[in-house]
Structure 1
Amino acid sequence: MKRRKLLGYAGAGVGVTLGMGVLNQAQAQSAGVTIRSLGHTAFLFTGGGRRILVNPFRSIGCTEGLPSPALPADIVMISSRLFDEGYLNDLPGEPRVLTDPGVYDFENLRVQGILTAHDRQGGRRFGNNTVWKWTQGGVTIVHMGGIAAPLGVEEQILLGRPDVMLVPVGGGPKAYTATEAVQAVQVLKPKIVIPTHYETTAAGDSCELAPVDEFLSLMQGTPVTRASSGSLGVRPNDLPSQGMRIQVYQYPRA
């Protein structure tokens, strides 16, 4: 395996400058971002001249029937070193890999990683989880990773109100249950909610996650859009002016 450029930083508020330039705000606002589901918590975000891959996994267990998410990207973010959200072995090219909480400044892009616990025992069982926040194509995105801990006041302030929030809903020992996910959504009040980390037909027999249905039932009254494909384009003008909507993706199959 060739050496990857791993960028880790402990302590939010510390900056890593990886490039310099002047942001063209008008171009960023008009471009938007395409969000492509790769299954589980893995997504590819394309927009603003960049491809950002979050949480590539190894196809095993709950991701057994999913194709490899190891796609070309400029930046790769992982929420933990667990196989279902931090598998880096097959990545093509030489992307920048972000692994730890902190503030990372690229040219025309700032990424913030926020530390949370990955379980309900303060991280003693599965360690820590990094929640990622960034703005791409004029759309502010929060990817919650595989979080299981409730959001504290500090985390709420850092995350603010995102345009798009990707949140695990399938439960298990290291991710939100449907009820916990609803609580997190009610705290952050995003404009678009994308549920992740739930059981699908691609899961193997060892998968113990719940399907997305319980989360949708608890969010009754919130409009739900089911994508006919694995990609969704979001522009700032597409965002709901009031309230929120839920976007459910069709996951790929191997």
Structure 2
Amino acid sequence: MIRLLLAALVALAPVAAVAQTGTQDRRPSHCVAIADAAPGLDYTRTAGGPERLWRAATQPSHREPLPDHTVRLHFVAHASFLIRTPGGLTAVTDYTGFIGNTELIPDVVTMNHAHSTHWTPDPDPAIPHVLRGWGEEFGAGIEHHLDLDEMLVRNVSTDIRGGFNASDEPKGNSIFVFEVAGLCIGHLGHLHHIPTDEQFAALGRLDVVMAPVDGGYTMSLDDMIATLKRLRSSVVLPMHWFSGSSLGRFRAGMSDDFAIVDANGPYYDVSLRTLPDRPTVVFLQPALLRD
């Protein structure tokens, strides 16, 4: 029933291939709409089987055409992922200016400025859409609602908390949400605190979430695990780790409620049809892009 409702909402959503700055004539977020329509409901999907999770890791390069309704998530480095749609749109998260030895120009890049490894002051001017996760005025935050027809990109602002000689900055980080192929894909950026109830509500349902698991530069592993268990996404992709120690502690903390899969490769293909029936952590190995 929920899948039918989701399909109907996607089918009825108006088409607009421009960035929206106001609230009128916006295509609504189906991720928030479904979450609001059925609060507390567990979403049931057809099980893809564990083998579906790592099959993509042995496929050819990032330029290979994708099956219909399938999204590819390639772990480039640190907190950067390449997101590819079935129609060929590309987005790079926490873009630093370098994604590998490739001529690929992403359609969209998102950035966060808690540290220089999450942004660049000089993005390639050929990139059509550069979305900064902070506002022009300190503490003001920013709102994005970029509608590219096949992909909707929006954000939820969170606070940057001082440390390592840095200062606090309200609304200095953004959790970016990519709505594509009926999926709701979230990137937590440089998240420093457990989101508030209002922020969780604004995020809505996240089928896939990319989460920093360093355990210190962003937030403690206990707080990150609590955040992920509340989100209860079908797929968690760990990122922003610096040692096997933090990965091991994160694995141990998640293994009671989540299945654990080692993909042994840099990317993962996902669709609504192949989402696992049990929440699953998929460990990817980062790799820069190469043509």
If the length of structure 1 is used for normalisation, what is the TM-score? 0.74
* 1:153 partner amino acid: D
Q: C-alpha distance in 2, partners of 1:83/1:17?
A: 36
Q: C-alpha distance in 1, partners of 2:220/2:114?
A: 21
Where in structure 2 are the equivalents of 1:8-157 lying within 5 Å? 14-15=22-23, 30-49=68-87, 50-57=89-96, 71-80=104-113, 82-87=115-120, 89=122, 91=124, 93-100=126-133, 101-108=142-149, 109-119=151-161, 124-125=167-168, 128-157=172-201
Q: C-alpha distance in 2, partners of 1:253/1:103?
A: 27
Displacement of 1:40? 1.0
Displacement of 1:91? 3.5
Query: Taking structure 1 as reference, are residues 180 and 58 closer, same or farther at Cα in structure 2, changes over 3 Å only?
Result: farther
Q: C-alpha distance in 2, partners of 1:161/1:94?
A: 29
Residues 184 and 207 of structure 2 are in contact (CA less than 8 Å); yes or no, is this contact kept in structure 1?
yes
Q: 1:181 aligns with which of 201, 214, 224?
A: 224
Q: C-alpha distance in 2, partners of 1:44/1:70?
A: 14
Displacement of 1:79? 2.5
* 1:151 partner amino acid: P
Query: Taking structure 1 as reference, are residues 235 and 47 closer, same or farther at Cα in structure 2, changes over 3 Å only?
Result: same
User: For 1:57-98, what per-residue CA distance to the aligned partner results, in whole angstroms no more than 9, with x for missing partners?
Assistant: 378xxxxxx958995200111123631111253647333101
Q: C-alpha distance in 2, partners of 1:177/1:81?
A: 16
Q: Relative to total residues, which structure has the larger helix share, 1 or 2? A: 2
User: For 1:164-223, what per-residue CA distance to the aligned partner results, in whole angstroms no more than 9, with x for missing partners?
Assistant: 0111111224x122211101101111110111111158xxxxxxxx63111111112321
**Residue 159 of structure 1 corresponds to which residue in structure 2?**
203
**Residue 45 of structure 2 corresponds to which residue in structure 1?**
none
User: For 1:120-146, what per-residue CA distance to the aligned partner results, in whole angstroms no more than 9, with x for missing partners?
Assistant: 68x944661100012122221011001
Aligned-partner SS, 1:157: helix
Q: Report the identity percentage.
A: 18
**Residue 3 of structure 2 corresponds to which residue in structure 1?**
none
* 1:110 partner amino acid: L
**Residue 234 of structure 1 corresponds to which residue in structure 2?**
270
Q: C-alpha distance in 2, partners of 1:218/1:94?
A: 39
Query: Taking structure 1 as reference, are residues 143 and 70 closer, same or farther at Cα in structure 2, changes over 3 Å only?
Result: farther
Tell me whether 1:168 sits opposite 2:168 in the alignment: no
**Residue 281 of structure 2 corresponds to which residue in structure 1?**
246
* 1:147 partner amino acid: L
| Bigger Cα displacement from structure 2, 99-108 vs 158-167 | 99-108
Query: Taking structure 1 as reference, are residues 180 and 78 closer, same or farther at Cα in structure 2, changes over 3 Å only?
Result: same
* 1:224 partner amino acid: I
Q: C-alpha distance in 2, partners of 1:212/1:15?
A: 41
Displacement of 1:8? 11
Q: C-alpha distance in 2, partners of 1:180/1:69?
A: 37
**Residue 216 of structure 1 corresponds to which residue in structure 2?**
251
* 1:84 partner amino acid: T
Aligned-partner SS, 2:273: helix
Residues 114 and 190 of structure 2 are in contact (CA less than 8 Å); yes or no, is this contact kept in structure 1?
no
Q: C-alpha distance in 2, partners of 1:16/1:97?
A: 22
Q: C-alpha distance in 2, partners of 1:237/1:68?
A: 33
**Residue 198 of structure 1 corresponds to which residue in structure 2?**
241
* 2:127 partner amino acid: E
Q: C-alpha distance in 1, partners of 2:260/2:232?
A: 16
| Bigger Cα displacement from structure 2, 125-134 vs 215-224 | 125-134
